[in-house]
Amino acid sequence: MTPRQKTFALDLPARMDRASFVPSACNAAALGLLALPLPGGRLVLHGPEGAGKSHLGQIWADAHGAARLTGENLAQADIAALGQAPALWLDDAARVAETEAGQTALFHLLNLAAANGAEVLLTARAPARDWGVRLPDLASRLSACTHVALAPPDDALLAAVLEKLFADRQVGIPDTLIPYLLPRMERSLAAAQSLVARLDAEALARGKPIGRALAAELLDGA
């Protein structure tokens, strides 16, 4: 039996820049819109967990020097100061609906942004109509926003992401590994990153290369 080697935590941080984003049919529409002035200055980008919303939001915010905040903390933010920013990115935006203060804050923020010509990107898992907003004026403004849906990652995107994640770690893999992983793994970009990290760590611990047998063992034990 091969002894396990002592390993250290070498989990690589997720890169959220444009160079690390993998374009595919499931995100092409969103990527194209974010490269242009937002329609009407406001865009709601929605899709399931792990579809790449936060990555696209980060790319857009970096390109526009946007202020960044989340729906959870908007009610405590300085809305007047945020309203002076050149652009705004609100991630996990649906959480504003959890409190009256959050809804009121977003209503005033959208008004200030419109008055100052600032673009606003909101990212969430669901379209705004499903957030549970109870403030009529806010609901009206959100319904007027352009909505773009991100589909779950398709095979082409997941395969490209897995290949890039292994390459970033300078890990060689057999040609049969990614086709083996695709139908068996959770279908999200976050799951791809976690799986590659686990495979890399386990291969290092065992002092063996990554192959289908190791992948099967980890997937079966997940």
Please write the tens of the pLDDT for every residue from 113-158: 999 999 999 999 999 999 999 999 999 999 999 999 988 888 888 8
For 63, 78, 116, 119, 173, the CA distances from 36, given in Å and listed in that order, are 11, 28, 18, 11, 38
Question: Are 87 and 69 a contacting pair, CB within 8 Å?
Answer: no
Average pLDDT over residues 28-42: 85
Global pTM value: 0.74
Better-predicted residue by pLDDT, 157 or 81 = 81
Percent of the chain with pLDDT over 70: 89
Percent of the chain with pLDDT over 90: 61
Average pLDDT over residues 66-74: 95
Q: What pLDDT does 5 receive? A: 43
Half-sphere exposure of 7 (CA within 13 A, CB side): 18
Question: Are 189 and 50 a contacting pair, CB within 8 Å?
Answer: yes
CA–CA gap between residue 188 and residue 50 (Å, rounded): 5
Q: What pLDDT does 13 receive? A: 44
Mind listing the pLDDT tens digit for each residue in 177-193?
A: 999 999 999 888 888 88
Written as one letter, the residue type at 46 is H
